[in-house]
Amino acid sequence: MTSSGGFRIDLDPDTYGSGYKDPFIQDEDKLSLADLIPRILIERNSFLDVTEANLPEEIANGNIEELLQPDVQITDGSLEPEQEDPSETFQQQRINLQKNINSALNETSLSLDFVSLLISAVKPNLAKATISPHLQKNVPIGSLNSDRLIRKDEDEDGEPSRTNGDKKDNNHGVGQAWKVQSLNKITSLFREASINLNEQVLKERRYWNMINLVLSNDEALFKTRDPYNNARAIGVKYGYGDSGASFRDKGLAILRKDTTSGEVSFHPISNVSNKVSEKNFKYIRVKILSEIDGDFMLTGQSIFENNFNNNSNAQIINDIEKARFFLFEEDLFYQLTREAKTLINYNVSIISNKIIIEINHEIIEIESVFYDENNDDELNNYYQNINSYSSLNNKKCQLILIYLKLMLCCYFKYNLKLKQKVPTALTKFKRSNTHPLILRPLLGNIRHELNLNNMKEIIANLCKKFDNDIEFKINNIEKFANLKHKSANPFQKSIERPLSDVNLILKNKKNNQYLRIDLELTTNEIFVNLIINLNIIRYKNHDDFSSNLNGVNVLQISFNDFNEIEECLEWTILNFVN
Amino acid sequence: MQPQSIALLQRIDYDVEQILQKFQHIFEVSRNQDKPKELLAVESLTIESDALTIIRYCEDLLSISRAVKETWCLGTLKVTNEDDKFINEKELDKIFNKFNTLTDQIAQFQEKSQLSTV
């Protein structure tokens, strides 16, 4: 361009032909559109009030315009302060701002580089993160260092030394004050923390003391989470889940810690929803109604025998014991109803919260009753013991209750034994199909006793009837012959079906023949049916009988009915007599 | 010793050591002679942070004690002297007889009560 500028002086303007006076004036027709449009804009300022009338006028004044044009050119080249176009200034300012920002950015990155380099001597890793690649390439890291310059006290100069001394004192004072301030602060921090920690230690102590108390009561503890707020907590297994109970409620509870005092409180959780549940306590009451003059009257009732508050001075233990007691009662009633369902054919019925057993002019009622701590009268049966009749069977009721509970324990033990066995198909089957033996043995034993009495009566009647022809000898009546073979289980009498032997020897007075009648009273696994096994052997003479030789088996048959056996015996004896 | 207990002991040792160290550090730092202002400012903040660390470690010690108690209560199997109480024949007999009389009493009451009511 500069060289072309040099040429321009020598060039004759006429060579252009178009008559341009100023070489700076560019040919409008040759300008690119991008240059042309701003030019026109600058010339005209605004197109707002362009009219058709204006335009021919403008064209007519073309010459003037051409005259004006050099002016425009001049102003275009230099800045024209007269023309204050807002968009223009805005543009300019924007450009300025951009420039400034760019330079500021540049400055900042430079200073960052500088600081990075400075720091690289002390902390190279930190510096590496911020230093620019360019600097890193060209200057080795850690090559710049700095040190603080402390102005020495100038002794020769009086004034500066004093001010310096003042400054130092001042510095010293400020530093000291800071230290004192923070020391004061940490003193109060420590004090607060010590109070806090002390409180916590006390809380912990209270908490663990109580936990330990529970533990020393032989409870099984386990880690769990409180369903209430999902916090970690210690749980207690107060139920019989691990002791062979198959009840749906496994007896789990949370020992919840009171955050303010550290006290532990007992909250049973239900198995179904895993929520803390408030339980309604229920207990079992046994009643006996006897038929007196055609009416059933209450003759006995068990009492509630438990006073939880005397066992221990700690509330938590009492709570656990109480929950355990009622869980057992609940379990017992559940098992009883389960068993009672199978006994509906034998005069056992279930009505809501009651199991009713009808047997031999008596009704035994086993009911589940809500426990009300404050209702002393009901718990102790004050109203019931009004006369001698009404308390006649009290003791028996109590015994039945004890019996039921014992049998449930026995069932637990059986379950536990099953659990300990090597799992096989059989034990698995047994485990899922066990039924407790509680009600059946109770009923079975009562029935057996009745049956035995009946049998005795029949035999006595027969004796009377054939007294003339036959010499009767009741050899022995052995009750519970099955107990001769003792097993290790002390509950044998109730888990095995009862079996009694009756042994009769008949001697015909005419021909000295002997007849031995063996009767075996027993039942099946339901415990309530009657099964009588009869076995009759006839001997020709006394010698044969005593040596048990040449006996003829006359009959060997089983009965389920007293009428049948009575007939059968009568017929046999009649046959024997003749 | 179990690895768990070793780890616990180490934790206790570490905590105590840290507490002592920080405490000592507080004293070291509280001295201020000829230190520039900037250092003094940093140091006074260090004192506070040290104090907070000490408190934190104390709390940690407490939590260790809690953990120990918890393992003690929950992680141990209780051994009772069950062997001493093993049931001999005689006692079994006693229970056996007692239970039998109980069953008899329940079963026999019937006739007695009938007798008495009639």
Whether B65 and chain A come into contact, CB under 8 Å, resolves to: yes
Q: Are residues A263 and A380 in the same domain?
A: no
User: Is the residue at A368 inside a domain?
Assistant: yes
* Mean pLDDT, all residues of chain A: 78
Q: Are residues A443 and A557 in the same domain?
A: yes
Residue A307, judged by CB atoms within 10 A of its CB (0-12, 13-18, 19+), counts as exposed
Of A369, A400, A430, which residue sits at a domain end?
A430
- HEC profile for A389-429? CCCCCHHHHHHHHHHHHHHHHHHHHHHHHHHHCCCCHHHHH
Question: Contact, A326 vs A247, CB < 8 A?
Answer: no
Do A293 and A395 belong to one domain? yes
Last residue of some domain: A229, A260, A275? A275
Report yes or no: A448 and A496 within 8 Å, Cβ to Cβ: no
**Inter-chain contact A361–B114, Cβ cutoff 8 Å?**
yes
Tokens for A443, please give them.
């009923």
Q: Are residues A500 and A424 in the same domain?
A: no
> What pLDDT is recorded for position A125?
83
| pLDDT for residue A55 | 79
For residue A90, tell me if it sits in a domain: no
Total domains in the fold of chain A? 3
A438: left (phi over 0), alpha (psi -120 to 50) or beta: alpha
In a domain, A543, yes or no: yes
Burial class (CB in 10 A: 0-12, 13-18, 19+), A3: exposed
Q: What is the pTM of this model?
A: 0.67
Domain span including residue A319? 282-430
AA identity, residue A382: Y
Looking at chain A, how many residues does it have? 578
DSSP letter string over A270-288? -TTT-SB-PPPPEEEEEEE
Q: Supply the pLDDT for residue B79.
A: 64
* Spans of chain A, pLDDT less than 50: 1-11, 13, 19-20, 65, 67-78, 154-161
Asked if residue A330 and residue A210 are part of one domain, the reply reads: no
- The secondary structure element, H or E, covering residue A184 is helix A158-216
Question: Which residues make beta-bridge pairs with A287?
Answer: A301, A365
Count CB pairs under 8 A between chains A and B.
131
Q: Does A185 contact B at CB distance below 8 Å? A: yes
Residue B100 has pLDDT above 90, yes or no: no
Q: Are A323 and A375 part of one and the same domain?
A: yes
Q: How confident is the model at residue B60 (pLDDT cuts 50, 70, 90)?
A: very high
The DSSP code for B86 is P
A179 contacts B102? CB cut-off 8 A: no
CB burial readout A238-249, b (16+ within 10 A) else e: bbbbeebbbbeb
ipTM here: 0.79
Cβ contacts (< 8 Å) between A441 and chain B: which residues? 103
Average pLDDT over residues B61-85: 76
Q: Say if residue A245 is in the same domain as residue A298.
A: no
Structure tokens at A173: 């004072």
Identify the DSSP state of A477. Answer: E
Q: Is A389 on the interface with B (CB under 8 A)?
A: yes
Query: Of B37, B58, B70, which has the smallest distance from its Cβ to A193's Cβ?
Result: B58
- State residue A9's pLDDT score: 47
The confidence score (pLDDT) of residue B116 equals 44
Same domain, A446 and A556: yes
A560 part of a folded domain: yes
User: Are residues A495 and A420 part of one domain?
Assistant: no
Residues B78, A190: C-beta atoms closer than 8 Å: no
Residues A234 and A214 in one domain: yes
Nearest to B14 by CA among B55, B63, B57, B71: B57
The letter for the amino acid at A142 is G
> Does A118 map to a domain?
no
Could you give the C-alpha distances from A454 to A206, A349, A446, A475, B104, in angstroms and in order? 66, 25, 13, 18, 17
| Residue range A247-266, pLDDT digits in tens | 777 788 888 888 888 888 88
Identify the CATH number of the domain in which residue A443 sits. Answer: 3.90.1150
pLDDT given at position A396: 85
- Taking the CB of residue A472, how many other CB atoms lie within 10 A of it? 16
Distance CA A497, CA A501 (A): 13
Residue ending a domain, choose from A275, A310, A345: A275
For chain A positions 243-302, those within 8 Å of chain B (CB to CB) are 290, 292, 299
Q: 3-class DSSP state for residue A505?
A: strand
Helix (H/G/I), strand (E/B), else coil: A52: coil
Let me know if residue A64 belongs to a domain: no
A421 domain residue, yes or no: yes
Verify that A408 and A479 share a domain, yes or no.
Answer: no
Residue A62 lies in a domain: no
